[in-house]
Structure 1
Amino acid sequence: MEGIKSIIDHFQNRDYFDEHYEWVNEHIEKHFPDTEVKVFHEIMTFDFKVHIHLIKAKSSKFDILITSGMSSLEMKIPQEAENPKDLRFAEMMMLIPKGIEFENVYTGDKKNDYIISMLKRTAKFPHQEDSWIGIGHSIVSDADFEPYGNDTEFVGGVILPSVTFDENFTKIKKDGRIINIYSFFPLYKNEVEYKINNGYNALLDRIIEADSKEILNPKRKNLIKKESFISKFLK
């Protein structure tokens, strides 16, 4: 009970922007009219609700997952960041191949639920930690680098700008506010470590070299080539 109380206390007396839920809905309807959209609602939570929209656009070769709720709270952007006012609100997005199916209700432990878990945990992280995330930031599932589910080896991810959609879609602008929609690129454990040790640009170079797409590949090859014992010895 003490843990629940601390969560409730952490999120009390915060300024909530509940209208952002509706802004995200309107944005999706504007860009994907007459498109099937399924929403995985978060019903019970002790912090704040993050819903997941599954957009099944017939005209594209992929489906889209977008969070709704991350932007209901303002992230704590450091003043030294460039244009901090424009970075306060964000939602997460992931493009997934056609054919990936989910159960009607998200529980976190069913087939493919790990994909939704990646977005939900990322969306909650900056508010739980009184921090922020933006382009180039990396994130892990937990302190132990555990995979997001039993059916994946992904343990974290990096926040990227979308290369599929332009700013007309990735920025919701209304009433003097901006809600940024960032793309989540999942990573294996050694890829997260590589990014931490070498920086965002080095990891981005690896992504480009591998010609990795923005669309999720659940079985993609590791970006970091494993060195042989001999090559390590010769260094």
Structure 2
Amino acid sequence: MFICHANECDRHRFNKKKTIFKSTKPIPMSFFKKLFGEKNNTNNKKEESNAPDPESISTGGSNVYNYSTKDSETEWHLPNQECVYMDEIIGHLEMHIGNPATVFHEIISDYVHIDVHWIKPSAEYPFNILVTTGMSDLPMSMPAGMENVERYNHAELMVVLPADWPIGDEEFKEANNYWPVYFLKMIARFPHEYKTWIGYGHTIPNGQNAEPIANTGFGCILTLPPMLTFPEEFLTLETKDGTIINFLATIPLYEEEMNLKLEEGTDALLDRFDEFEISEVIDIDRPNVAL
């Protein structure tokens, strides 16, 4: 069983417009230039640092962080190492879930090189599974004073999509199909860009006002271990060098669900998920459990 610390259930809040995803049209390269800015090729070296202190604590016990625009926003930070644990992660996937049939390679990388691996539906897992590699190439910056940081400072993300979800290079030109991948890559890069961390029960709104994502009513992403869908043995990977990598599912939330989590805590939200039989598999038409 994955055990979290009390300060793991955090909400990360942004002032930057670049975190907002609401396009319903194909995404041209100019979109990404506007999103990230024109950047120069500069090498990035990982600096040891702690995560920032929370701005406040919600009534439900969640630490609230506010990230504003950085001075270095217009510079590229090219990774100084890539694919550190990719082979071991793929082996872990093959052992517990299935063989990735396709890899969506990242052409230009900032901070870390994020590839997305696609496991197609099977008899045991009749849905599409997308998993990142590269987020764990670098350790995340953990809160000062946190115990056993080595158990939580490396992670990879995944998203579970219905069997009929359109997937492929052509399909991803349509934002309504691509947004789960966008958030995988954005959130995977986020802790390295902002010297923070992502873990159990963290919520990331789509912009400061949790705007609707693409053609859905969701406005936020929740990260949780995929305990409902996959075996416990899959949730963590201990690599040959002793690094522990945690796998976290990205689960979209309605704004009201995010507010419920902030006001009453992650357990209250998960109780509602149990009541409505919500799993990690994304359903854009699912009920709002906070209404």
- TM-score, length-scaled by structure 1: 0.82
- Report the alpha carbon displacement of residue 109 of structure 1 after superposing the two structures with TM: 4.3
Q: 1:165 maps to what in 2?
A: 230
Q: Which moved more, 1:206-215 or 1:73-82?
A: 73-82
Out of 106, 119, 128, which is 2:193 matched to?
128
Whether 2:159 is the aligned partner of 1:94: answer yes
1:4 is matched with 39
**Do the aligned partners of residues 195 and 67 (structure 1) sit closer, same or farther apart at CA in structure 2, a change above 3 Å counting?**
same
Alignment correspondent of 2:184 = 119
Q: Answer whether contact 1:15 1:73 (CA < 8 A) is retained.
A: no
State which of 40, 45, 58 in structure 1 corresponds to 2:104. Answer: 40
Count of matched residue pairs: 222
Match of 2:115 in 1: 51
Mapping 1:20-35, distance limit 5 Å: 20-32=85-97, 35=99
Q: Deviations over 1:200-221 (max 9, x none)?
A: 1221122122221221112111
Q: Which moved more, 1:45-54 or 1:129-138?
A: 45-54
CA shift for structure 1 position 7: 4.2
Classify the secondary structure of the residue corresponding to 1:4: coil
Larger mean Cα displacement after TM superposition, 24-33 or 60-69: 24-33
Indicate how the Cα distance of structure 1 residues 89 and 17 shifts in structure 2: closer, same or farther if over 3 A, else same.
farther
- Give the aligned residue type for 2:112: F
Q: Which amino acid letter does the alignment assign opposite residue 182 of structure 1?
A: L
**1:202/1:3 CA distance change after superposition, 3 Å:** farther
SS of 1:143's equivalent in the other structure is: coil
Residues 45-84 of structure 1 correspond to what in structure 2 (within 5 A)?
Answer: 45-59=109-123, 60-84=125-149
Q: What amino acid maps onto 1:164 in structure 2?
A: T
In the TM superposition, residue 177 of structure 1 has moved relative to its aligned partner by: 0.7
Do residues 214 (structure 1) and 280 (structure 2) align? yes
1:54 offset after TM fit, Å?
1.3
Letter in 2 for 1:18: C
Whether the 8 Å contact between 1:146 and 1:155 is mirrored in structure 2 is yes
The structure whose RCO (Cα within 8 Å, separation 6+) is larger is 2
Matched to 2:264, the amino acid is: N
SS at match of 1:182: strand
Structure 1 residue 193 and structure 2 residue 265: aligned? Answer: no
Cα distance in 1 for residues equivalent to 2:259 and 2:177 = 25
2:191 paired with 1:156: no
Aligned identity (percent) is 32
TM-score by length of 2: 0.68
Q: In structure 1, what is the Cα distance between the partners aligned to 2:137 and 2:127?
A: 27
C-alpha RMSD of the superposition? 2.6
1:134-145 alignment runs, 5 A limit? 134-145=199-210
Structure 2 alignment gaps of length 5 or more: 1-32, 41-71
The whole-number CA distance in structure 2 between the counterparts of 1:53 and 1:127 is: 21
Alpha-carbon distance in structure 2 between the residues aligned to 1:72 and 1:8: 23
Q: Looking at secondary structure, tell me which structure has more helix per residue.
A: 1
Q: Quote the offset at 1:10 in angstroms.
A: 7.7
Structure 1, unpaired ranges of 5+? 226-235
Q: Displacement of 1:186 after TM fit?
A: 0.9
Asked if 1:181 corresponds to 2:247, the answer is yes
* 1:204 equivalenced with 2:262 (yes/no): no
**1:126 CA drift (Å):** 1.6
